[in-house]
Amino acid sequence: MRKDSLPEKILTYLAFIILFIFMIIMLVQFDKIERRQINLEMQLKDLEVKIGEIASAPIAYSVAENVEKNPLTPSRKYLHPEVKNFLSDETFKLRIPETQVGGILNRWMPSDPKSFNTIVSNDGTLNAYVGTYVNSEAFATRSYSNPDIWVKGLAERIEITDDFKEYTIYLKKGVKWHRPVVDWQSGRYDWLKGDHELTAKDVKFTVDLIKNPQVECPHLRNYYEDLDYVKIIDDYTVVFRWKKKTYNSLSFTVGFSPIPEFIYGYDEDGKPFEKSVFGLRFNNHWYNMKPIGCGPYEFVSYVQGASLKLKRFEQYYGEKPAINEINYQIFPDQKQNLLKIKSKDLDFGVLYPTDYREEILKGDPSSPFKNGNILNNTYDEMVYTYWGWNMENSIFKDRKVRWAMSHALRLDYMLETIFLNLGQRITGPNYIKSPGYNKDLPLVTFDLDKAAKLLDEAGWRDTDNDGIRDRIHDGKKQNFEFTMLTTSGSPEWSAAQNIYKEDLMKIGVKMNISEVDWAVMQKRIEDKDFDAMGGAWGTPWESDPYQIWHSSQASIPKSSNHISYRNPEVDEVIEELRETFDPEKRAVLYRKFHKLIYDDQPYTFIFTRKRCAVWWNNLHRVTFNIIRPHDDSRPWYFDLKNVSSNVNPN
């Protein structure tokens, strides 16, 4: 009997495929409801098996591969195909035709992180310098072009029910976690070898951590109090179900960032943590001082007080940035930052007001800041600065005292002479350019007479003529003396604090100043070990006041309500905000919230910041985002024909 030639076999197989596809089309035409339930991908897999039974495996595989690549073939089955995908495609491209791939970007990091664990760390600086590049990948992100639009990240599709209670997330397949940085030669970490793919298991693992009361993440947990459950459908599909319709459920589901279970679920020898103490072990996890994620850059090395190095992750699932490596030099000295920029040890940096005045406003024409070698631009930062008054301290419980403290601060003078107008005065916590900012509230005036009068009314007088106000509290004499806790390294803030200290002394208030490293300050803030503190909050595109201002957060250890602020009326507005979706109604509520905070003066609000960024002219496409992080280097690239000594092209 004659054997069929290979071409004849192929024709036979193609005829079989055509017949099979025709049968599917007929079934679809007769029953449209059934059509939605048919998974064409699975049908084609069955076809692959049948063909394999009568032909060689290589031919069957190639047929199936061709079908898989057909753009008309659905890649996976959706639970709710009739629901429109909430996510859009990003139109902004990280690389443009002129982009050159390669180079090392040298930047400055002003302080060491307390931890690289993104669940237990509430460090905005860490998120800006490391999270964006390493471990803050989320289901979706806000678009570069329009922050009101959510674009695909780890998820390729998200289905949301009309009541905003249920979110079905479809993870992209093939997303790889970074390879851990450990001593592979020792053999101790063999249990970590191999590629690890992000799956729904990591998502459920992360949610369980956040909701675990043992885990020190109150700044995150409060946002997930109304999350009913997370259900794994399959390796790449997961459902978030909320107990009630809340506005925050949208951003805190769509913007959710998982962490890898394969490393954070185990001790250093690869043994799973016991459930009874899992959260406690996680807080001090053995990998906490090394960042890990699935972002465009992966961790290389970290030397405390010296450097942090990242390199481009070549297995990254998305569009890769052009720059090969990012090297952060860690030091607190602002002057050293300027010297390193001038010497080209740093390619990019931010000038503080004093340096901005000397180099940009008054610079010599021959200076690199003036001759075109170093470029610069200013941008508005979604950050506000403040001095916060600890409500657990008996001195600051009285609203009149807090208003006196605000009236004693000569902000207009400081902004003009010390900060060189790199900022704008504010009256409350809402972003000044948002519709929720209450423009009807007047700026607090500098008025020492009014401040002194308010302190008199609050019962603070100098009864022993020693120059310091006092009062009887709990049967004992109490002097009006407190310590302002701030970070070290900024001559501008040091100057501002000393002016404030002198003005307060004029009205009988003694302020001591304690300047500490950021890591120390963060620990003391978490422990509420301060009288007053100088700080800054980064505001998201759509903020939720709950984390910082709701009374329920005042007594929680390590919460963001550092000053233990409590006001039932503020709580009501915050809770209503969480259930209000209408933009105009939300704006009204935000302005009401703003007014209540203003009346209480729990913070003395200072100003929103404006930054002056500088960079050497061989660095191109340096743009600044509307939202944080503003100085996102992923779209930047080097002119490799004009390479500085510290840049190594591919």
Q: 3-class DSSP state for residue 101?
A: coil
The pLDDT of residue 55: 32
Please say whether the beta carbons of 311 and 135 come within 8 A: no
Full domain range(s) for residue 276: 80-312
C-alpha to C-alpha distance for 295 and 290, rounded to whole angstroms: 14
Q: What percent of the chain has pLDDT over 70?
A: 87
126 in the same domain as 23: no
What's the confidence (pLDDT) of residue 62?
23
Q: Please, which residues bridge with residue 152 across strands? A: 140
- Give the model confidence (pLDDT) of 7-30 as tens digits: 555 655 555 566 556 555 544 444
Element (H, E) at 159: strand 155-160
Dump the DSSP string for 217-275: -HHHHGGGTTEEEEEEEETTEEEEEESS--THHHHHHHT-----HHHHTB-TTSPBPPG
Q: Where does residue 247 fall: left (phi above 0), alpha (psi -120 to 50 degrees), or beta otherwise?
A: alpha
The number of folded domains in the chain is 3
Nearest to 110 by CA among 268, 265, 409, 330: 330
Q: What is the pLDDT of residue 8?
A: 58
pLDDT at res. 50: 36
Euclidean distance between CA atoms 40 and 81, whole angstroms: 14
Our separate counts of H helices and E strands in the chain read 20, 21
Residue 632 domain flag = no
Query: Has residue 326 been placed in a domain?
Result: no
DSSP per-residue letters across 203-216: HHHHHHHHH-TTSS
Both ends of the chain: CA-CA distance in Å? Answer: 61
Query: Of 64, 89, 107, which residue constitutes the final position of a domain?
Result: 64
Flag whether pLDDT at 521 surpasses 60: yes
Considering 255-259, 517-521, 536-540, the range whose residues carry the highest mean pLDDT is 255-259
The predicted pLDDT at position 75 comes to 63
Give CA–CA dist 273/450, Å, rounded.
59
Separation of alpha carbons 438 and 598, rounded Å: 10
Indicate whether 516 and 467 sit together in one domain.
Answer: yes
Confidence class of residue 224 from pLDDT cuts 50, 70 and 90?
Answer: very high
- Please give the pLDDT value at position 64: 26
- Would you state the structure tokens that stand for residue 237, as one six-digit string? 């599909």
Instruction: State the DSSP code for 127.
Output: I
Token digits for 310? 């990242």
Is residue 550 predicted with pLDDT exceeding 50? yes
Q: Which two tokens stand for residue 650?
A: 């591919």
Could you tell me which residues come within 8 angstroms of residue 210 by beta carbon, excluding any fewer than 6 positions away?
Answer: 119, 217, 220, 221, 224
Burial profile 327-358: b = 16 or more Cβ within 10 angstroms, e = fewer: bbbbbbebeebbebbbebbbbbbbbbbbbbbe
The answer on 128 and 41 residing in a single domain is no
pTM of the full structure: 0.77
Q: Which pLDDT score is estimated for 298?
A: 98
**Cα 136 from Cα 259, distance rounded (Å):** 9
* Separation of alpha carbons 298 and 314, rounded Å: 9
Q: How many CA atoms lie within 13 A of 444 on its CB side?
A: 26
Q: pLDDT band at residue 129, thresholds of 50, 70 and 90?
A: confident
Average pLDDT value over all residues in the chain: 87
Tokens of 320: 């890769």
CB 460 within 8 A of CB 488: no
Could you tell me if residue 494 is inside a domain?
A: yes
Cβ pair 127, 136 in contact under 8 A = yes
For position 178, what pLDDT does the model report?
98
Q: Are residues 60 and 84 in the same domain?
A: no
For residue 596, which of 431, 455, 429 has the smallest C-alpha distance?
A: 429
Q: What is the pLDDT of residues 350-375, one digit of tens each?
A: 998 989 999 999 988 889 999 999 99
Residue among 135, 131, 118 nearest 177 (CA):
135
> What is the average per-residue pLDDT within 509-522?
93
Residue pair 308/133 in contact by the 8 Å Cβ criterion: no
Residues 305 and 400 occupy one common structural domain: no
pLDDT-wise least confident of 79-88, 314-323, 576-585: 576-585
Q: Same structural domain for residues 387 and 527?
A: yes
- The answer to whether residue 625 is domain-embedded is no
Q: Give 159-173 pLDDT, tens digit per residue.
A: 999 999 999 999 999
424 found inside a domain:
yes
Task: Average the pLDDT over 108-128 and give the result.
Answer: 85
The DSSP secondary structure of 466-510, one letter per residue, reads SSS-EEEETTEEEE-EEEEEEESS-HHHHHHHHHHHHHHHHTT-E
- Asked whether residue 42 falls in the same domain as residue 110, the answer is no
What residue type is assigned to position 45 of the chain? K
Residue 631 within any structural domain of the chain: no
| SS3 call for 511 | strand
The set of residues, in sequence order, having a beta carbon less than 8 Å from that of 474 and lying 6+ positions away, is: none
* pLDDT of res. 363: 86
- According to the model, what pLDDT value does residue 45 have? 38
What is the spatial distance between Cα 419 and Cα 448, in angstroms, rounded to a whole number?
22
Inter-residue long-range contacts of 150-155, CB under 8 Å, 24+ positions, other chains counted: 150/86, 150/87, 150/88, 150/254, 150/255, 151/87, 151/88, 151/89, 151/90, 152/87, 152/88, 152/89, 152/90, 153/318, 154/198, 154/258, 154/294, 154/317, 155/87
SS3 per residue for 523-592: HHHHCCCCCEEEEEEECCCCCCCHHHHCHHHCCCCCCCCCCCCCCHHHHHHHHHHHCCCCHHHHHHHHHH
Residue 11, C-beta contacts closer than 8 angstroms, at least 6 positions apart: none
Q: Do 524 and 565 belong to one domain?
A: yes
- 450-497 tens-digit pLDDT: 999 999 999 999 999 999 999 999 999 999 999 999 998 888 999 999
59 and 114 in a common domain: no
Q: Is the dihedral of CA 459, 465, 466, 472 positive or negative?
A: negative
The CATH number linked to 133 is 3.90.76.10
> Do 102 and 168 belong together in one domain?
yes
Instruction: Let me know whether 190 and 229 are in one domain.
Output: yes
Q: Cβ distance 140 to 153 under 8 Å?
A: yes
State the pLDDT at residue 44: 40
- Asked if residue 572 is part of any domain, the answer here is yes
Arithmetic mean of pLDDT, 243-259: 93
pLDDT digits (tens, 9 = 90+) for 365-424: 889 999 999 999 999 888 899 999 999 999 999 999 999 999 999 999 999 999 999 999
CATH of the domain at 484: 3.10.105.10
Same domain, 27 and 154: no
pLDDT band at 643 (very low <50, low <70, confident <90, very high): low
Residue holding tokens 């997303």? 175
pLDDT above 60: residue 143: yes
Name, in order, each residue with C-beta under 8 angstroms of 399's C-beta and a sequence gap of 6 or more: 599, 600, 601
Select the more confidently predicted residue: 249 or 558. Answer: 249
Residue 328 lies inside a defined structural domain of this protein: no
- Cβ atoms of 485 and 530 closer than 8 Å: yes
Euclidean distance between CA atoms 312 and 325, whole angstroms: 6
Q: Are 635 and 321 in contact (CB under 8 A)?
A: yes
Domain boundary among the residues 312, 338, 360 is at 312
Joined tokens for residue 54: 């009568």
